[in-house]
Amino acid sequence: MAYDPDVAITLWPEYFDKDRTRSEGRRLPLELCVSKPDLDIIAKGAMVLDLEFEVREDMSYPKAPRSKNGCVKVEKGVMSKTELLPKIGAILVQNQRR
């Protein structure tokens, strides 16, 4: 499926941040999260899964509108967001250990 920004899945770094609580935006268990995830490593996770993506550095997480941490928009393919997040998280953890 081709990348369409209107229906793309948005991946915020806050979803994968080990230092955040669930109420602050973390979406995964701690074992699938890393400290201070950046957009490049999230984009690398999308690349490993062979998904088309776009890095948007000018975006801010809705719960923290003043901090412009950006996001990664990923094509909506055969996986749902619920299936995609743990796979990206596992890739982040694996890359952090290196």
Tokens of 78: 């055969």
Tens-of-pLDDT digits for all 98 residues of the chain? 677 777 899 999 999 999 999 999 999 999 999 999 999 999 999 999 999 999 999 999 888 888 888 999 999 877 899 999 999 999 999 987 66
CB atoms within 10 A of CB 20: 16
Cβ pair 22, 28 in contact under 8 A: no
For the chain, the distance separating the N- and C-terminal CA atoms, rounded to the nearest angstrom, is 32
Domains and CATH numbers, the chain: 9-97 (3.30.56.30)
Cβ pair 42, 57 in contact under 8 A: no
Q: Give pTM, 2 decimals.
A: 0.90
Cβ pair 61, 69 in contact under 8 A: yes
Cβ pair 92, 16 in contact under 8 A: yes
